[in-house]
Chains A and B, each alone.
Chain A
Amino acid sequence: MSIIIDEKTKLVVSGLTGREGTFHGLRNRDYGTDLVAGVTPGKAGQEVDGVPIFDTIAEAVAERGANTSMIFVPARFAGAAIDEAIGSGVETVIAITEGIPVHDMLGSYWMAKERGVRLIGPNCPGVLSPGKANVGIIPAQFFDQGSIGVVSKSGTLTYQIGNELKHAGLGNSSIVGIGGDPIVGSDFIDILGLYESDPETELIVMVGEIGGDAEERAATYIAESVTKPVVGYIAGFTAPPGKQMGHAGAIISGSAGTARAKQEALEAKGVRVGTSPSEAAQIAAEIVG
């Protein structure tokens, strides 16, 4: 088992004909993901390396049985592409695009909720289920198949931790990048719940950062609803208030959203928090044995 994507995933990529979309879409296919279609309005009938292109996601669903959509279109069109995906009949929408206006995401978030569609991202590296499927830009070489579930706001930090776990001989059930924007489709809580019910996952590594209160809410959720061990890591202890640290959502507003508060909230609920990515990986390795 794994979560969100696996060997049954049939992927349609919005923006497959773009440079980045082609590069990553085909990389995902090379990994073994069943890439069934691409979507670019006005380019129906074309192909990208043998993958048929459709005008709409709904057509890709009807004709190719797509069940998962990846959004790889420029930010100013991405909100509309996400909404199209949510209404197309796919079960899961994974939005990689960075810089989508937050008001666009407000609408998309509630639309996805209403339709019962799982939305991951935006501004995220995607999802990888090692040995099964890769949807997004996560470099798969740092991750082996195994029992540690990872959920993270950050891409490169996740690769760093994955690489250290791999050196310790440990693999992953899935790796989920939830994204660093103020409004994301799935929060830590949503993904923690999926790992809790995934029989393959023994332990969960949760990588957070400053801004918002998703980590604090996750701490409460872990205490109430997660029986598996969780190891945390939080980035941004040295971040000054009021400054956006790269990710649109990584900002301490007044005194809210600090790394210290998140660490304390997690530790208060019995979650061990590493002081560096390496230490978080070491703690995970120690617990799994």
Chain B
Amino acid sequence: MDLLEYQGKQLFERTGVAVPDGDVAGDVDAAVAAAERIGYPCVIKAQVLIGGRGKAGGIKVATNVHEARNHAEAILGMDLRGPRGEGPFRVAWVWVEGASEIDAEYYASIILDRSAKKPLAILSRMGGMNVEEITETDPDALARSYVEPADGLGIEQARELALSAQIDEDVVLGVSEAMVRLYEAFVSNDATLIEVNPLVVTASRDVIALDAKVTIDDSALFRHEQLAAAEEQPADEQERMAKERGLTYVKLDGDIGILGNGAGLCMSTLDVVANAGGSPANFLDAGGGSKADAIVDALEVITSDPKVRAVLFNIFGGITRCDEVAAGIIEASSRVRLEVPLVVRLDGTNSAQGLGMLAKAGLDHLHVEKTMLGAAQAVVELAGKA
């Protein structure tokens, strides 16, 4: 789960990382009230999960109440796209905070390094840029230090990191303390990423986090009820439907709906369809033990996407039994009006029974294929005709 900036800042505040004074607002009046309380100049920032919000017009400075109202009106409800075309995301919340007088901008992050199996603390005096840009521009300006999970990040290690990043001498202590607290926030909130870009030094030489990018491990949300409750619903209709039904679904750009059992087989199915010249509309993993209800749910979600012109079910039964999947397909066809062709490939445990059941049911729009490649070719052809 990715946190919005304001959620990240609230989390920083709880662990003692300094952030600008601010309020979150969901409508224009609340935003204006926040600006009035905080004073001017203040910054009104769109709360959406993309980078480059400033360039996209989602961050504006207000120097008086009229500007605050104008900016809040402009930003709330606007649709923002990320630098790589992500979105659009509609702005439901703004964060209003006091503008900071900035002396220096640093980059700070704690990430989970999968290869090393350790958290990695990164610090750079070149704030404002992302890590890739810093690496390209001046790799020496990026200081890294692995943290032993059993020991945590202590002030000495943080100080060494700050020194090797060539942070201004007078703020080495402040930056080191911020790193230690960010690490505490990383561990205590089950984060897999904390990035502060920029971590700024103000004119009064205070160290504060001006932005917050935080990713929380979904598997750990059961012990962070407050964060779990704050999770935004997916903007995409099918993704929202799938989430309500407990399905693992990812929307893609194409027109061929896909269901597979098991994440690996499902990914592989997308690839095989793409190799056959088709374009998948989604990833949907029906899970290891796909029962009839899951099949009904899955078909409802897939076919609710108006782009979908044909559907492929690729099932290799291991623990999943193909006769149960067939029962699910037959059940689903009586509950969901199927208007596009459905190609089914059933193999593995009890596949003969499952295929027999499908043949007997004689469903409209149903095409049965023996192999994964054959099924992929068939669904691509059917989507082309539709």
Contact = CB atoms under 8 A, between A and B. Distances in A.
B92 to A, nearest CB: 21
A204 interface: no
A76 B117 CA distance: 20
Interface size class of B (residues with CB under 8 A): 35 or more
A249 B372 contact: no
The 7 closest A-B pairs by CB, nearest first: A154-B264, A246-B263, A156-B262, A101-B220, A157-B264, A156-B265, A235-B267
Given A101-B190, A212-B114, A276-B272, A154 B319 contact: no
Contacts of A250: 263, 267
Given A102-B219, A103-B190, A276-B275, 15 more contacts: A101-B217, A106-B118, A142-B318, A154-B263, A180-B263, A210-B267, A211-B114, A212-B115, A239-B270, A246-B248, A247-B263, A247-B264, A259-B271, A276-B268, A276-B272
Contacts of A254: 132
A1 to B, nearest CB: 25
8 contacts: A76-B222, A100-B219, A106-B117, A125-B318, A157-B268, A212-B115, A235-B265, A246-B267
A245 B150 CA distance: 30
Interface string B189-208: 01010000000000000000
Contacts of B190: 101-103
A189 to B, nearest CB: 11
A163 B150 contact: no
A100 B221 CA distance: 11
Interface in B316-372: 316-319, 347-349, 371-372
B288 A137 contact: yes
A141 B348 CA distance: 9
Contacts of B272: 276
B105 to A, nearest CB: 21
B112 to A, nearest CB: 6
A29 interface: no
B274 A138 contact: no
A107 interface: yes
Contact of A243 (B222, B250, B265): B250
Interface string B241-269: 00000001010100000001111111110
B213 to A, nearest CB: 13
B316 A102 contact: no
A245 B283 contact: yes
A103 B220 contact: yes
Among A102, A156, A183, A259, the one with the most B-chain Cβ atoms within 10 Å of its Cβ is A156
Contact of B114 (A158, A183, A244): A183
A156 B267 CA distance: 11
Contacts of A41: none
B263 A245 contact: yes
A209 B114 contact: no
A182 B114 contact: yes
B177 interface: no
